[in-house]
Structure 1
Amino acid sequence: MTKPKVLISDKMDPNAARIFQERGCDVDVITGETPEELAARIGEYDGLAIRSSTTVTPEILDAATNLKVIGRAGIGVDNVDIPYASGKGVVVMNTPFGNSITTAEHAIAMIMALARQIPAADARTQQGEWPKSAFMGVEVTGKTLGLIGAGNIGSIVASRALGLKMKVVAFDPFLTEDRAVEMGVEKVDLDTLLARADFITLHTPLTDQTRNILSRENLEKTKQGVRIVNCARGGLIDEAALKDLLESDHIAGAALDVFAQEPAKENPLFGTKNFICTPHLGASTTEAQVNVALQVAEQMADYLVNGGVTNALNMPSLSAEEAPKLKPYMSLAEKLGSLVGQLAHGNLDKISIEREGAAADLNGKPITGAVMAGLMKQYSDTVNMVNAPYLAKERGLDVREIRHDREGVYHTLLRVTVETSQGARSVAGTLFGSEAPRLVEIFGIGIEADLQGDMLYIVNEDAPGFIGRIGSLLGENGINIGNFNLGRRDGGGEAVVLLSVDQPIPQDIVQKACALEGVKVVTPLAF
């Protein structure tokens, strides 16, 4: 039997090559090649192990005729075209937890550096000054740390901060009260965190929902004299607003390890008073580099030799026999999860996935994974059916799988219910012709709709004239309606409209729709 062949194309701990060999793979270590050189070579390999230097483009993937798996030693996969890799049938893996402690410790180091102004004091002392009176620091003991993101890294930061005798408040949509108690932190909403925190540290991925989470508006809500740390992702903070508020002394200090544009060889923040920065060093320790190298080698070898899948970003855990039967159900499940995630407001506490009819006899784990992937994609751009259940568990979200033997109106039915701080929300769907996913109920109102592309969800009073008003508004603004789906509780009561449209609806049109007579809720959707 021919051994799988792996290429390590970036500098990596030598033990990674040893693990590949011990586990039955042939391995070559060839680093520093140009994209053209890599494309010419990659066709002979089954696996590609990379760090951040190699960029896996469509051109390289087109040349990778035998490639089965790409392993990224680290968490970020910005240098891999994952959708294109998926289309090529290439599994993409990362090692999301190998550098967690290292990144958390860097955040704590930044907090201490801000508190005592260490970089500035060091620079002036080494210039021959003795500026003792110029640097009056603050203690961290007794101060409140605001944690934005309470996942794996955030929870480690919380633990370290508690050891420093800080108080910790945390904002995370998936953090439950029980998990907060277990971590020793107080769960709060974002506005409360901004108002109370003496230090703020971010530990959340960059998504459409988290981009500029510390916007100018939110930065202005912070406590006078706050100090801000970001060792997560660039783009979470409005850098121009941060500069202005540092210069006005509203913010006492800021420390960034990441920037919106990297490498950040130029940035308006450079030279701003009370500003500290490092060149994306969060994962840069000897221990972390060893850990991620060993983990990626173990994961890739396990997949190539045994078929095991760990930390895959684009592949569910499915057997070859189950996949064809489960595929349409997983599509339905992901759409329902995405729908309820886009519409349910407030902190999530519990989620129930119910299967009845033909769906009750299927393997529920992939279906649950698909629901969670759809739900949590609102908050993370790397979530999928493999890692979504783990991320939910990490945040203490109570996930329940319920199987009903009964068969109702539909021969098969999936129902997704989330319980939030603002109450329970439920959606349900079925398969038409055993293949086509279709929504059949939303928040207790019967409605049939295909969840696809750009859509608009509207709750309005059931009264004459509304359909004409919304149709006119969209038509006057050049927005074409693909499908118009209606549902209502009772005549003259609350009605629901689901519109499919040909392009995303601009925010100003959403606001105009909100102002229409009888409208209660307007939410753009995307599938």
Structure 2
Amino acid sequence: MTAPKVLISDALSEAAVQIFKDRGIDVDFQPNLGKDKDKLAEIIGNYDGLAIRSATKATAKILEKANRLKVIGRAGIGVDNVEIPAATAKGIIVMNTPFGNSITTAEHAITMMLSLAREIPAADASTQAGKWEKNRFMGVEITAKTLGVIGCGNIGSIVADRALGLKMKVIAFDPFLSPERAKDLGVEKVELEDIFKRADFITLHTPLTDKTKNIIDAAAIAKMKKGVRIINCARGGLVDENALAEALKSGHVAGAAFDVFSEEPATKNVLFGLPNVICTPHLGASTTEAQENVALQVAEQMSDYLLTGAITNAINFPSITAEEAPKLKPFIELAEKLGSFAGQLTETGITKVTITYEGEVAEMKIKALTSAVLSGLLRPMLGDINVVSAPVIAKERGMVVDEVVRAAESDYESLITLTVTTEKQERSVSGTVYADGKPRLVDIKGIRVDAEFGSSMIYVTNEDKPGFIGKFASLLGDAKVNIATFNLGRHTEGGDAIALVTIDGPAPTEVLEKVQALPQVKQVKALTF
């Protein structure tokens, strides 16, 4: 097997490059390539992985040419420079390193808060200019003050911990913060309005989304205490900078410390030059330790994925541990083939998909399995679908996808049942993985079977009447179609029956037409896996 090939197109540390090499990955280190989008587009098709920082822009145009690419790893948290929908459509996993620079960013926020409280930058500039303005810089203590944390995830919780160590009272707004977690952190969980009313200092640690854009605007500022101080080391655009500038000028807001801006690089901004405003050029992650940490982390994550299938910190796919990956692999194959089986038999619009996981498989990473089912199901109808893009496409098509998890109720240790509801009917198919690791079909529309998936198959539904099998086999024999396996099943004597035959090579159209013409046959389909 040839070694996976990774391109590093931004400045990553030598230690990160070495991790790839030590893991047996062929690495091409071109730290300045990210700035040359034409050159990047020209060569991207030669690589399985792309490791980047913020200089490389992985646009749809570049990704269009990335036919081999399986993973993009961003050393850092922000993936604004990667077109996620384009990557998802091509089945490219996009990973970031959300924890590698958490401490550094949290420390920067605390540093900005302390600098703001004591007006350190302005006092330093004044003193170094030869002035001795001792009475001009009257700061405030932070002890016993209330810090409002907006977003108490990974970085926000570190800020809260440090602030508690500085003897502040910490209140936090985060819809995803559980009361138990708040208690463990030692913070009071509150609503956003409470932060505005009660906080002496407000620090933001939330991603920029449609819901969080301008989360602090003129209306929010009007609700705040007079003399509040605002710190933003998270994302530009969380605060309406024009509204903040007005509040700083009026004195309602006593100070602001910003590391991020709505437009970056920020060579000019409405906040620049205002008294008691501290600005830094997006330094949140800029420490030697953080830069090294994220580089090493992204190298490990990408290597794990390319070599074992383990997925960590992916933006567009569920995480799968190195331990889970080998156990999951045969079930992902089963899930995709069950989806493909149903998809090839479905001729009208799908309204609902129900996937039932029974037994041991119910304890596995079912989100990944559901993605595989949907990819197999949609591919016969929509073409270029993959496990990464399938859930997004199903949602866009208005399909209801239900996942049911339950203890084993059948003879199998693990069973996956896919039920597809269309405008005209409902069809179920079940499968399992035996000890040999091969996926098997075990039930089709309530009829028991035991069939492996062959690369070329013929599926027939018919009435259970004497003579059908002989005629069917004769038609295949006359056309010199060689039968590899022959599986039969029926509901009841004389009732509905199915035949599932694996053949060598594709099924000729004229043979399918002759089978369809047999009096007992209801439906005949050629299937490929």
Counterpart pick for 1:243 among 242, 245, 251: 245
Q: Is contact 1:71-1:300 (8 Å) kept?
A: yes
1:200 is paired with a residue of what secondary structure?
Answer: strand
1:60 is paired with a residue of what secondary structure?
Answer: helix
Counterparts of 1:390-469 in structure 2, within 5 Å, are 403=406, 432=422
> Which residue number in structure 2 is paired with residue 225 of structure 1?
227
How far the C-alpha of 1:127 sits from its partner, in A, is: 1.2
Counterparts of 1:98-177 in structure 2, within 5 Å, are 98-177=100-179
**Counterpart residue identity of residue 130, structure 2:** G
**Counterpart residue identity of residue 277, structure 2:** F
How far the C-alpha of 1:132 sits from its partner, in A, is: 0.7
How far the C-alpha of 1:88 sits from its partner, in A, is: 1.4
Q: Is contact 1:356-1:405 (8 Å) kept?
A: no
Residues 419-452 of structure 1: CA deviation (Å, up to 9, x unaligned): xxxxxxxxxx99555689xxxxxxxxxxxxxxxx
Residues 73-122 of structure 1: CA deviation (Å, up to 9, x unaligned): 01111111111111112111111110000000000000001000011111
1:133 is paired with a residue of what secondary structure?
Answer: coil
> Which residue number in structure 2 is paired with residue 272 of structure 1?
274
The CA distance in 1 between the partners of 2:132 and 2:369, in whole Å, is 61
Structure 2 residue 51 is matched with structure 1 residue 49: yes
2:64 is paired with a residue of what secondary structure?
Answer: helix
The CA distance in 2 between the partners of 1:357 and 1:95, in whole Å, is 32
- Quick check: which has more Rg, 1 or 2? 2
Counterpart pick for 2:336 among 324, 327, 332: 324
Q: Which moved more, 1:295-304 or 1:38-47?
A: 38-47
Q: Is contact 1:357-1:404 (8 Å) kept?
A: no
**Counterpart residue identity of residue 153, structure 2:** G
How far the C-alpha of 1:182 sits from its partner, in A, is: 0.4
The CA distance in 1 between the partners of 2:127 and 2:406, in whole Å, is 68
How far the C-alpha of 1:358 sits from its partner, in A, is: 3.9
Q: Closer, same or farther in 2 for the Cα pair 1:45/1:220, shift >3 Å?
A: same
Q: Closer, same or farther in 2 for the Cα pair 1:271/1:360, shift >3 Å?
A: same
How far the C-alpha of 1:45 sits from its partner, in A, is: 1.3
Residues 291-316 of structure 1: CA deviation (Å, up to 9, x unaligned): 00001000111111111111111123
Q: Closer, same or farther in 2 for the Cα pair 1:65/1:239, shift >3 Å?
A: same
> Which residue number in structure 1 is paired with residue 19 of structure 2?
19
> Which residue number in structure 1 is paired with residue 64 of structure 2?
62
2:261 is paired with a residue of what secondary structure?
Answer: coil
The CA distance in 1 between the partners of 2:211 and 2:254, in whole Å, is 27
Residues 152-205 of structure 1: CA deviation (Å, up to 9, x unaligned): 101000000000000100011111211111000011111111111110000011
Counterparts of 1:83-94 in structure 2, within 5 Å, are 83-94=85-96
Q: Is contact 1:51-1:72 (8 Å) kept?
A: yes
Q: Is contact 1:356-1:403 (8 Å) kept?
A: no
Residues 20-44 of structure 1: CA deviation (Å, up to 9, x unaligned): 0100101111122310111112221
> Which residue number in structure 2 is paired with residue 257 of structure 1?
259
1:43 is paired with a residue of what secondary structure?
Answer: helix
Residues 484-518 of structure 1: CA deviation (Å, up to 9, x unaligned): xxxxxxxxxxxxxxxxxxxxxxxxxxxxxxxxxxx
Q: How many residues align?
A: 366
The CA distance in 1 between the partners of 2:339 and 2:313, in whole Å, is 20
Q: Any stretches of 5+ residues in structure 1 without a counterpart?
A: 329-354, 372-383, 386-400, 407-411, 415-428, 437-527
Q: Closer, same or farther in 2 for the Cα pair 1:323/1:256, shift >3 Å?
A: farther
**Counterpart residue identity of residue 362, structure 2:** N
**Counterpart residue identity of residue 267, structure 2:** K
The CA distance in 1 between the partners of 2:273 and 2:233, in whole Å, is 19
How far the C-alpha of 1:366 sits from its partner, in A, is: 4.4
Identity %: 60
Q: Is contact 2:10-2:30 (8 Å) kept?
A: yes
**Counterpart residue identity of residue 69, structure 2:** L
Counterparts of 1:248-397 in structure 2, within 5 Å, are 248-316=250-318, 317=320, 319=329, 320-324=332-336, 358=356, 363=362, 366-367=365-366
Q: Is contact 1:21-1:27 (8 Å) kept?
A: yes
CA RMSD, Structure 1 to Structure 2 (Å): 3.0
Q: Is contact 2:147-2:169 (8 Å) kept?
A: yes
The CA distance in 1 between the partners of 2:179 and 2:421, in whole Å, is 36
1:70 is paired with a residue of what secondary structure?
Answer: strand
- TM-score computed with the length of structure 1 as normaliser: 0.65
Counterparts of 1:195-234 in structure 2, within 5 Å, are 195-234=197-236
How far the C-alpha of 1:370 sits from its partner, in A, is: 10
1:28 is paired with a residue of what secondary structure?
Answer: strand
- TM-score computed with the length of structure 2 as normaliser: 0.64
Q: Is contact 1:357-1:405 (8 Å) kept?
A: no
Q: Closer, same or farther in 2 for the Cα pair 1:69/1:194, shift >3 Å?
A: same
Q: Closer, same or farther in 2 for the Cα pair 1:402/1:60, shift >3 Å?
A: closer
Q: Is contact 2:420-2:427 (8 Å) kept?
A: no
2:231 is paired with a residue of what secondary structure?
Answer: strand
The CA distance in 2 between the partners of 1:240 and 1:413, in whole Å, is 56
The CA distance in 2 between the partners of 1:87 and 1:176, in whole Å, is 34
Q: Closer, same or farther in 2 for the Cα pair 1:358/1:36, shift >3 Å?
A: closer
The CA distance in 2 between the partners of 1:272 and 1:322, in whole Å, is 63
How far the C-alpha of 1:357 sits from its partner, in A, is: 9.0
Q: Which moved more, 1:26-35 or 1:47-56?
A: 26-35
**Counterpart residue identity of residue 4, structure 1:** P
Counterparts of 1:2-13 in structure 2, within 5 Å, are 2-13=2-13
Structure 2 residue 181 is matched with structure 1 residue 179: yes
**Counterpart residue identity of residue 83, structure 1:** P
Q: Which moved more, 1:280-289 or 1:52-61?
A: 52-61
How far the C-alpha of 1:128 sits from its partner, in A, is: 1.3
How far the C-alpha of 1:62 sits from its partner, in A, is: 1.9
2:293 is paired with a residue of what secondary structure?
Answer: helix
How far the C-alpha of 1:65 sits from its partner, in A, is: 2.2
The CA distance in 2 between the partners of 1:305 and 1:208, in whole Å, is 37
1:64 is paired with a residue of what secondary structure?
Answer: coil
